Amino acid sequence: MIMKLSILTCKIKHYLADFRVVFFVWLIMAIVPWLRIWLKGKFDLDYSIFFHSFWHAWQQMPLYIIYPEDGNYFLYGPLFPLLMAPMAVLPYQLGRLIWMLLITFVPYYSIRKSFFTRSQQLFILWFVAVEAYTCILDSESNSLILACILFTYYLTQKQKDCWAAFLIALGTVTKIYGIAGLAFFPFSHNKRQFLGWFVAWMVILTVLPMFVFGFDYVCGQYGAWYDVLVHKNDLNQFAAGQNISLLGMVRKISGIASYNDIWLILPGAILFALPYLRLDQYRHQGFRLAAVASALMTIVLFSTGSESYSYIIAMPGVAIWYLTSPWQRNRCDLALIIFAFIITSMSPSDLFPKVVWSQLIKPYSLKALPVAIIWFKLIYEMLTKDYALATAQIMRTQANVMQ
């Protein structure tokens, strides 16, 4: 019996370590939600909003009001409808299938392409699968923000400043979150060139929709975009399912509506920036990857727009924090990442006690709690730890994988 269990365990490990299996699982994660909604004739809220954004812009209709066929606000920049054009002109379900494949495999490829060892890639892909599936179920675009940030870091390290700056500008002009890619600007070997490309791409991508939809229309929509973001921020403060962040957790637990979030955002920004004063650590890949983890968690923890789906951005940051440190992680760290997986990833699922989710975690945005604890620990490590052993650690890991 023990031998049979041992053989079964070995087979399971073998399958879990096979990228063909991982790829197939992620493919199923894209196809099943597409088929489920299509065959049952259900309403796909987010893709409907994205799909109609192009036609609203094409017909010079306001982008930032609630349309009956969509049922919610469109919250992306005026460039986004133009990016949706290739899918919007196709038959609805075909365009939706392409969208589902994009939000699944662009982040998948960004994890495979980044500076992670084979075993680290496998861990991250399995670890974030629940969050990825949650995001895919509702056709959310947050996984593309994750990919944008990871690719930005990869291109910065490859000294391809032009394309790194392009991704930052693209993410910023479409959904603001992409601005987090500037966290890797200090690691650029040619900062003047990087900054020049960023400014150039911001100008190009800002005016690009004007050539299709018209100058006056797009200028008006930029103003409307700002207004709807401010309005949505006010609506999110105590909304269930919204403001699932460190900001929301503090506000909902305290029950205080009168203070300004800047009193939390400003200290958070200072804490985020302080590790960058350690210039001598820049040369160590472990420190740079810690900065990636910090950026991924920060934009979710300090945004009132964070939803449950947003944690497809933060949870890879948790995995990167755990995997890429040059020192051996201890039991406390292991407990933290398990805590994050259970509370952050699993609590909204049917496998978690519904009463705990509905009465405790959801009302007080406690989905953010494990990530917040890990973020504070990460900042402490970046301020105090020596990452000089990172290169040796990565070499040892690669040697173990090759064996």
Annotate the chain with three-state secondary structure. CHHHHHHHHHHHHHHHCCHHHHHHHHHHHHHHHHHHHHHHCCCCHHHHHHHHHHHHHHCCCCCCCCCCCCCCCCCCCCHHHHHCHHHHCCCHHHHHHHHHHHHHHHHHHHHHHCCCCHHHHHHHHHHCHHHHHHHHHCCCCHHHHHHHHHHHHHHHHCCCHHHHHHHHHHHHHHHCHHHHHHHHHHHCCCHHHHHHHHHHHHHHHHHCCHHHHCHHHHHHHHHHHHHHHHHHHHHHCCCCCCCCCHHHHHHHHHCCCCCCCHHHHHHHHHHHHHHHHCHHHCCCHHHHHHHHHHHHHHHHHCCCCCCHHHHHHHHHHHHHHHHCCCCCCCHHHHHHHHHHHHHHHHCCCCCCCHHHHHHHHCCCCHHHHHHHHHHHHHHHHHHHCCCCCHHHHHHHHHHHHHC
pLDDT at 45 over 80: no
Taking alpha carbons only, the member of 242, 234, 257 closest to residue 365 is 242
317-331: pLDDT as tens digits: 999 999 999 999 999
Contact 106, 147 (CB under 8 A): yes
The percent of residues above 70 in pLDDT, for the chain, comes to: 93
Lowest mean pLDDT among 30-44, 108-122, 202-216: 30-44
Q: How far is CA 70 from CA 32, 74, 228, 327, 358, in A?
A: 22, 9, 16, 49, 26
C-alpha–C-alpha distance, residues 305 and 236, integer Å: 7
221-261: pLDDT as tens digits: 999 999 999 888 777 777 777 889 999 999 999 988 888 88
Question: What per-residue confidence (pLDDT) applies to 186?
Answer: 95
Reported as a pLDDT band with limits 50, 70 and 90, residue 4 is: low
pLDDT at 42 over 70: no
pLDDT at 13 over 80: no
Indicate left, alpha or beta for 341 from its phi (over 0: left) and psi (-120 to 50: alpha).
Answer: alpha
Lowest mean pLDDT among 138-142, 201-205, 327-331, 350-354: 350-354
Lowest mean pLDDT among 62-76, 171-185, 190-204: 62-76
279-333: pLDDT as tens digits: 999 999 999 999 999 999 999 999 988 888 899 999 999 999 999 999 999 999 9
Lowest mean pLDDT among 77-91, 208-222, 234-248, 358-372: 234-248
Question: What per-residue confidence (pLDDT) applies to 232?
Answer: 82
Average pLDDT value for the chain = 89
pLDDT at 396 over 60: no
Question: What per-residue confidence (pLDDT) applies to 200?
Answer: 97
pLDDT at 53 over 50: yes
Close Cβ partners of 170 (under 8 Å, ≥ 6 residues apart): 79, 148, 178, 201, 205
pLDDT at 392 over 60: no
Q: Which residue has the higher pLDDT, 5 or 340?
A: 340
pLDDT at 16 over 90: no
pLDDT at 116 over 80: yes
Per-residue pLDDT, averaged over 332-356, amounts to 92
Reported as a pLDDT band with limits 50, 70 and 90, residue 402 is: very low
Reported as a pLDDT band with limits 50, 70 and 90, residue 390 is: very low
